[in-house]
Amino acid sequence: MKHLLKMSDLSKAEIYELLDLADTLKKEVKAGIQTPYLKGKTLGCIFQKASTRTRVSFEVGMVQLGGYPLFLSSNDLQIGRGEPVEDTARVLSRYLDGIMIRTFEQKEVEDFAKYGSVPIINGLTDYAHPCQILADLMTIREFKGTLEGLKLCYIGDGNNMANSYIVGMLTAGMKVSVATPKGYEPDADILAKYQADPNFELTNDPKQAAKDADVVVTDVWASMGDEAEADQRKKVFAGTFQVNREIMNLAKADAMVLHCLPAHREEEITAEVFEEHANEIFEEAENRLHAQKAVLVTLMK
């Protein structure tokens, strides 16, 4: 593992190694122990998309590991004024020990890895969100004790989260059922690769997807970059593609609910269901810190 660009970069064994390390790092922090695994190391954090959890968790994580995080807004970099990615990657690689990028195009992250000479971490693109998936896997295992054979139901837009749930959860040994409106399905290449997997289901019926689910997840109807489509998407998604009491009654009685946040209550999830499962959702948010620290240690130590 040289980089973390998308979930398909990880084997099942590598996912479990990261989760085990994340568990250990979380226990250390809870016990007041902060081992400087990355003492003297510097992580550049490039943001072309706004962030709450990604920025704070990576910056705090690097400090807890004894390293130094450097916030790099695209507005302050020459890449924001037209400098080629390959030049920025080669320059920053001479200053930094690792780079985390939160941007739009997956190609930009892939190009950083191609032309740079330090580990590259995808903090989110329109295609994938691997750090969130690792946090979700960590949270599910904490609450359920295992991942193997559990069914995850995703209801909503076939966006970066849907793409990453399909790859990450199936690789980890889970079953995945995805429900999206027609025309809003996940990435075609991912579907082509996994559509024959007996543990994967794609449907336009959220009730079918939710049946006997152990974990129910959702995301906003209009992701960053899709704001211009927000009104149209509300018309398509409203009333059907929502995690609500009716959906939860179809899932298992002890089903978890996760949300990568921010959540738009009464759109993709009702306030009632959100608050009933707030403990799981905010544990999931916290686990971004621990899962990403595991990635940082693995790539940069």
69-109 residue pLDDT tens: 999 987 878 776 678 899 999 999 999 999 999 999 999 99
**If you classify domain 3-129+288-300 with CATH, what class do you get?**
alpha beta
The answer to the question of whether 129 is labelled as a binding residue is: yes
- Cα 269 from Cα 87, distance rounded (Å): 43
Does residue 151 surpass a pLDDT of 80? yes
Segment 178-191, tens digit of pLDDT:
999 999 999 999 99
For the chain, give the number of residues.
301
The answer to the question of whether 277 is labelled as a binding residue is: no
- Tally of CB atoms within 10 A around 193: 15
Q: Which fold has domain 132-286?
A: Rossmann fold (3.40.50)
Q: Which residue type sits at 286? A: E
Does residue 240 surpass a pLDDT of 80? yes
| Nearest-5° Cα angle at 145, 141 to 149 | 80
The answer to the question of whether 45 is labelled as a binding residue is: no
Domain map (residue ranges) of the chain: 3-129+288-300, 132-286
Q: Do domains 3-129+288-300 and 132-286 have the same CATH topology?
A: yes
Active site members: 102, 129, 132, 219, 260, 288
The residue with tokens 């992250």 is 109
The answer to the question of whether 131 is labelled as a binding residue is: yes
The whole-model pTM stands at 0.96
The answer to the question of whether 102 is labelled as a binding residue is: yes
Q: How far apart are the first and last CA of the chain?
A: 13
pLDDT tier at 223 (50, 70, 90 boundaries)?
Answer: confident
The answer to the question of whether 298 is labelled as a binding residue is: no
Residue 228's pLDDT is what?
Answer: 81
Q: Of 290, 300, 299, 286, whose CA–CA distance to 4 is shortest?
A: 299
Task: Give kind and range of the element (H or E) at residue 13.
Answer: helix 12-30
Cβ atoms of 249 and 289 within 8 Å: the answer is: no
